[in-house]
């Protein structure tokens, strides 16, 4: 039985929930964005949409200064579409379209033409909060359109892989820093929250490494990825006398399936190592990822003390409940948890082949 999640507690939310508004108020974060090679501008959508941030690259490509844009509507940003028969203004396209919105000419800008993207950023409740706009220079057209398209695809693929590699390295560094900071904290409850946060970030770093090593594939081998998550958790929380029973099949899945699955498995294994064997007698934790004709079943279990009578997993209001909800909704998974005092805990995650292939 899966408990319905409730809003996170105040302390846990501060540690674990990303907050773009707060990030934009950070001088360090702004300094970072000011030096990325992508022109970025952000608007806050409520109560009235207004631009709240532009980086230096956006100033250069748009030909307009931050002081002239921040606090203003997108209509302040000049530019018109370059394609024949397209009479859109850049500001209208930003508000009306999503993702890649086209090529535009800006008179104040030195590049002849700019590619533009517009995307909505939503909060945890799914409500639109910010709009992120990006600009980049349009490269000169080659005579052979097909060759140009192929070259651009190769360049973007290379850039994406480089980005994935850098994200993976940065996540690994963040994980190490969080673990060090957590060990230095005198409050054990806060230190435990730091440790759990580090584990979640490490699971994401492993996912990015899988993407970097996938040789151009857009999928991730779920069995391999979950085995890497399990190894990382065992290394971080090694307990003498506890062994891991690992059996995994190869099953390629999309990122939307692999990411929440890895986070849930990380939560379950961490819980087992920390709470299931308090008597010090040791035991076994099992992770099985078995593929059949109808789909895949991931099982995480232990032969430890089990949950106290009347307690459910995940606990409502904790981050684990939100992660399980994400797995159920985004990956279309069915999760079943059984436990009893003294009889361990057993969680089955079922992925239908038809549902996963439809994602």
The total number of structural domains in the chain stands at 3
- Distance, in Å, from the CA atom of 176 to the CA atom of 141, rounded to the nearest integer, reads 45
Q: What is the tens place of the pLDDT at every residue in 2-44?
A: 443 333 332 233 223 344 555 555 566 666 667 777 888 999 8
pTM of the model: 0.50
Claim to verify: residue 176 and residue 110 sit in the same structural domain? no
**What number is the average pLDDT over the span 170-193?**
56
C-alpha to C-alpha distance for 79 and 111, rounded to whole angstroms:
12
The range of the structural domain enclosing residue 157 comes to 140-218
Share above pLDDT 70 across residues of the chain, in percent, rounded to a whole number? 66
Locate tokens 């945890």: which residue?
124
- With 90 as the cut, is the pLDDT of residue 268 above it? yes
Same domain, 186 and 269: no
Instruction: Evaluate whether 1 touches 312 at the Cβ level (below 8 Å).
Output: yes
Residues 314-327 have a mean pLDDT of: 83
Q: Tens of pLDDT along 133-179? A: 988 887 544 445 566 666 666 666 665 555 555 555 555 555 555 55
Provide the edge-to-edge strand list for the sheet that holds 295-302: 242-248, 283-291, 295-302, 345-352, 333-339
As a whole number of angstroms, the distance between CA 135 and CA 326 comes to: 31
Instruction: Let me know whether 244 and 351 are in one domain.
Output: yes
Same domain, 343 and 299: yes
CA–CA separation, 94 vs 99, rounded Å?
9
| 262 contacts 203 by C-beta, under 8 angstroms | yes
Q: Is residue 3 part of a domain?
A: no
CATH number at residue 248: 3.30.565.10
Is the bond preceding 314 in cis, omega lying within 30 degrees of 0?
A: yes
Q: Are residues 279 and 348 in the same domain?
A: yes
- Rounded percentage of the chain residues whose pLDDT exceeds 90: 21
Tens digits of per-residue pLDDT, 91-119? 999 988 888 888 898 876 666 688 899 98
Same domain, 283 and 359: yes
**pLDDT band per the 50, 70, 90 thresholds, residue 247:** very high
Q: Tell me the average pLDDT across 267-287.
A: 86
Judging by DSSP bridges, how do beta strands 252-253 and 295-302 pair with one another? unpaired
* Same domain, yes or no: 100 and 167: no
Residue 146 inside a domain? The answer is: yes
């Amino acid at each position: 039985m899966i408990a319905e999640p409730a809003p996170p507690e105040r302390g846990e939310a501060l540690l674990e929930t990303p907050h773009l508004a707060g990030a934009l108020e950070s001088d360090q974060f702004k300094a970072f964005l000011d030096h990325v090679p992508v022109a970025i501008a952000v608007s806050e959508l409520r109560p009235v949409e207004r631009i709240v941030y532009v980086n230096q690259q956006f100033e250069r490509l748009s030909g307009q200064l931050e002081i002239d844009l921040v606090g203003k509507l997108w209509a302040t940003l000049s530019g018109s579409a370059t394609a024949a028969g397209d009479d859109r203004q850049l500001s209208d396209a930003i508000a009306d379209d999503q993702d890649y919105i086209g090529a535009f000419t800006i008179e104040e800008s030195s590049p002849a033409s700019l590619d533009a993207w517009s995307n909505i950023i939503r909060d945890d409740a799914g409500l639109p909060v910010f709009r992120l706009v990006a600009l980049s220079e349009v490269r000169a057209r080659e005579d052979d359109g097909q060759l140009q398209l192929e070259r651009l695809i190769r360049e973007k693929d290379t850039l994406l892989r480089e980005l994935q590699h850098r994200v993976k390295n940065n996540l690994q560094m963040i994980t190490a820093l969080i673990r060090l900071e957590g060990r230095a904290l005198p409050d054990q409850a806060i230190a435990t929250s730091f440790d759990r946060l580090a584990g979640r970030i490490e699971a994401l770093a492993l996912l990015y490494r899988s993407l970097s090593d996938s040789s151009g594939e857009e999928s991730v081998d779920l069995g391999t990825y979950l085995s890497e998550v399990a190894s990382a958790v065992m290394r971080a929380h090694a307990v003498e006398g506890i062994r891991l029973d690992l059996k995994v099949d190869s099953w390629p899945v999309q990122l939307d399936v692999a990411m929440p699955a890895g986070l849930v498995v990380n939560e379950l294994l961490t819980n087992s190592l920390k709470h299931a064997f308090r008597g010090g007698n040791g035991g076994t934790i099992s992770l099985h990822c078995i593929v059949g004709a109808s789909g895949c079943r991931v099982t995480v279990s232990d032969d430890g003390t089990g949950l106290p009578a009347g307690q459910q997993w995940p606990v409502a209001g904790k981050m684990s409940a939100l992660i399980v909800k994400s797995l159920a909704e985004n990956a279309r998974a069915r999760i079943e948890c059984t436990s009893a005092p003294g009889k361990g805990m057993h969680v089955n995650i079922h992925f239908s082949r038809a549902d996963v292939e439809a994602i």
